[in-house]
Structure 1
Amino acid sequence: MTRPVTALTALVGGLRVRIRQMPIVLRLVLAVALAMSIVLSSAAAFVYWRVQYALDQQLDEDLTVYQHSLARAVDSDERLPAGPTGSTYQILDSHGDVLHAGKAVQGGPLLTPAELDAVTHGRTIRRDQGALLPISPDPLRLEATRVTRQGRTMVAVAAVARGHRDEALRELLGQLGIASALTLLAASYVGYRTARAALGPVERYRRGAATLADGVPGLRLPVPADRDDELTRLGHTLNRMLDHLEASTEREHRFIADASHELRTPLTLLRAELDFALHRPRTADELTDTLRAVDTDVRRLIELSNALLDLEQLGSGEPIHHIPVDLTDLVHAATDRHRKAAAREGRTLTVATAPAVVRVDSRWMETAIANLVDNALRHGHGEVHIEAQAADGRLRISVEDHGPGFAGDFLPNAFDRFTRAEASRTSPGSGLGLALVAAVAASHNGTAHAANTPHGASVTLDLPC
């Protein structure tokens, strides 16, 4: 018993593997064909059962009427009646001997010994003789009951021909088989065409993706603009994903290009200073000056690297954390770190804030405010004024200085990476401060705006809080 079960399990497993390896279209067609086979078989079985029931009911009514008239004639010793067309009869004694019989059944008795014994003891037996398939000659439906005549027990067997009934059922089976086969073929063809039409966009998407995989830039999947079905929405989703991938790739390339371009200069200067120091023996003062210059270059490298990494982190789409923060504490935390540098230059930092609690990412907001203050200290003059206020769900932070302000041709590109005004190109800085400020504002769904005031430059952050 174990061996056949194992063989059947292996057969089913192999069949599943073959089906999974088929193309989706063929699997869909097989599923449609299987479902339609079940539906058609159920419908055909129901129709066949209803027709058979109606034919059997009519045949049984004719047989019952004929049996009653035959039993009444035997009991009253009358002439045996003629039954329906194709009907016949047998009158048997209790031993199974045929006393009277119609022409079609003049041979042996129609009942078996067991059936004869059951009928003589009062049972009524009804059964068919001959099969529907394969075709049997002279099929009958017979009914046998016990009758008495002059105190003698007899058995009256009435039989009606089933030929017309069986022929009608065989014809019905043939027609149902042909109709089911044609319907199954039509449904499979329609299912195949429908599946091909439905999966056509998927194949087009695959070909488009294959083209993209070959490295062709700027291509997108061919999505029809006049539809809004599941496959069309899938195409739009894939195109958005490709947009993000392309933007991510472009950001990565830009990061590498920016880093290589901006790091090259301080690294070259650092190498030149070290080579110069090692070229011949130096005094202690000369070595100290060289180390100070190297320290300046290293600091610039660290500042530039941190700024590039911060920009990359903000641009990567990494979620920021909005938490409740006291606005006054936030601004003071960002500005206090610059007070010593301002004092050394004889400049002042003034802060004006309105009491409020805002929901922002404190880490990035401190970085943005600190960059604005640092930018004002480097490129402006006089007092640096920081003002922050929250009202109507908006947070506005502005940093103003006293000085020449922004050059007119610099303002449109003030927040671009590595963009520096001509006057500031010789001053310290990486050109990434305002770009980082703009990235922080964008990550909070806000904006950054640079402008000139009557007494200097002003940069304002405006974002929801």
Structure 2
Amino acid sequence: MKRFLRGPVTAARKDPARAAATPHGARQSPPGRSDSLWNSLSLRFKLTLGYAVIFSLSVLLGAGCVYVMAHGSLTRTLDTTLHETASLARGSILEDADGERFSDELQPPPELNIELLSADGRVLDVAGRMLTPAGSSPLPPAQRSLGMITQQGRRVLTERLPSGLLLQVSRPSDTLTALLETLAQVLLAGSALMIGLACVAGYYLADRALKPVDEVARTAATITHSGSYRGRVRAAPGSDEMARLTGTVNSMLDHLEATIERERSFARTAAHELRTPLTALQGRLELALERPREAADYRRSLEIMRGRVDELLSLAQGLLVLAETDRPAHLEPTDLTLQAAEVTTEMYELATRLGKQLDWQRMIEPLPLPQPGTRLEELPPSTLHMMVLAEPLGVRQVLRNLLENALKYGGDRVVVRVSPLSLMVWDSGPGPLMTEWARLTRPFERGPGLQGVSGSGLGLPLVLALAQRWNARVEPQWATHSGDGFGVCLSWAARDPKTMN
């Protein structure tokens, strides 16, 4: 028992003020409990609750307005009846030797009572049911105050006559009270029924509206738990926000599936392409170490292995550049003429070594290159048309890759053609088959019969990836007549010069 009491006693010693302020046996609600309870409620319940509160306030406010208007209308009707009766009673007052009295012709309905009072409140004459016997003690001042009052379940109108006497007309108000009570009960019952139906309808509508959200959540949970990204959300009917949501989610899942499949295929192919030179390098190393050899043999083996290492470095560099194309692009005005001239100059050595003729052409009259700091508005129109929004280093990479393909696999003559908003690398060869073009745009794919030619199969896919970053298009162009050659064109859409600064 001592061990059981040790915890509470220690807590009380540590915080005596808290122990004194907290009643014995009372439980304190943890902080944020109400918030966590609200957050644990479903969105359907929250929407229904909010709708019910707003609708309830509206209905109750409307019912209250109806009750107040009905009460005022019925009360005014009753008061009008009393005023009309008082006017009739004033015309029926006769004066004789005994004083003023009502005419015998004044016969009010049974529910009306008309009394003629003295100035001090004594009843002098009565028409209708007698409430106060004649000659009785005077009425208290509260019961004979002028105007319209309600007392003892009756609506009473008291007026002062020119002679100084008081005319009092009254009628029971229990009928009005009963009618208003019935109206209040009907309004309350109707309001409760409407609120209940509104809650049911609101929950039904909220449930129906949020079903696509549940479908999205279930699909996401299924993909998360199963690891299968092929599931799709059932499309919501119509063209409202939920239909657009399901369509957008399905489009996103399609894009993710295509991206994942592309990355998986890329990883498998990259592993295969890397394994081939590594296996050859390993075989060459094992062969060199198999037995002692002459220095010349070792040197020859090292030269071969260096070539394999160069292939690996080239492949790794191509993979790195291709992976970096997913980063956001930083576009800037780029002069196509300048890039074509520089890259063509760089590739002259390779063209000479392969015995190919390399040249470049500008499809408009040559103009001097713009000076540094020159604004685009100050350039001649022909020069401006050679400016595109791109990445200068990327444009050079595209030209370099296209030229390498043309020099290695194309005809004897290769030409770089610079036109307004476009670049083309043309060669005199027949080019690949039209049916092979789509395959060649995938990483590591190469043309048939070219496996013995050095290359990684990443040049053309990198060209397409960079073009997508710049919103440019890559289009192959086959000659209509045999011997006219083959070209790959990189083109941009026309832009407002002001948007290129």
Match of 2:351 in 1: 342
Residues 347-380 of structure 1, C-alpha deviations (whole Å, 9 max, x = no match) = 4421112245142423333212211211233335
1:61-460 matched pairs, under 5 angstroms: 61-68=80-87, 76=95, 77-80=99-102, 82-88=107-113, 103-106=130-133, 111-112=140-141, 119=145, 124-130=146-152, 139-147=153-161, 155-213=166-224, 214-224=226-236, 227-273=238-284, 288-314=299-325, 316=326, 318=327, 320=329, 322-355=331-364, 356-361=385-390, 362-380=392-410, 382-390=412-420, 395-401=422-428, 406=432, 413-443=439-469, 444-449=471-476, 451=478, 458-460=486-488
Match of 1:51 in 2: 70
Q: 1:348 to 1:95 in 2, by over 3 A?
A: same
**Cα contact 1:97–1:109 (8 A) shared by 2:** yes
In 2: Cα distance, 1:175 partner to 1:464 partner: 74
Q: 1:110 to 1:62 in 2, by over 3 A?
A: farther
Same amino acid, percent of matched pairs: 27
Question: Tell me, what secondary structure is at the counterpart of 1:228?
Answer: coil
- After TM superposition, give the deviation of residue 429 of structure 1 in Å: 0.9
- After TM superposition, give the deviation of residue 207 of structure 1 in Å: 2.8
Q: For structure 2, list consecutive stretches of 5 or more residues without a partner in the other structure.
A: 1-20, 22-28, 365-384, 494-501
Cα root mean square deviation, aligned: 3.8
Number of residue equivalences: 432
Q: Which amino acid aligns with 1:460?
A: V
Q: Which amino acid aligns with 2:347?
A: H
Greater CA drift, 435-444 or 66-75: 66-75
Q: Which amino acid aligns with 1:64?
A: H
Q: For structure 1, list consecutive stretches of 5 or more residues without a partner in the other structure.
A: 4-9, 131-138
Alignment TM-score, normalising by the size of structure 2: 0.73
**Cα contact 1:407–1:421 (8 A) shared by 2:** no
Q: 1:108 to 1:15 in 2, by over 3 A?
A: farther
Residues 184-228 of structure 1, C-alpha deviations (whole Å, 9 max, x = no match) = 22222222222222223332333333333322342211115x622
**Cα contact 1:255–1:312 (8 A) shared by 2:** no
Q: Which amino acid aligns with 1:418?
A: F
In 2: Cα distance, 1:109 partner to 1:21 partner: 71
Question: Tell me, what secondary structure is at the counterpart of 2:231?
Answer: coil
Residues 34-64 of structure 1, C-alpha deviations (whole Å, 9 max, x = no match) = 2222222232223223322222112112222
In 2: Cα distance, 1:64 partner to 1:456 partner: 113
Q: 1:103 to 1:386 in 2, by over 3 A?
A: same
In 2: Cα distance, 1:104 partner to 1:400 partner: 124
Alignment TM-score, normalising by the size of structure 1: 0.78
In 2: Cα distance, 1:409 partner to 1:32 partner: 61
In 2: Cα distance, 1:330 partner to 1:364 partner: 10
**Cα contact 1:93–1:99 (8 A) shared by 2:** yes
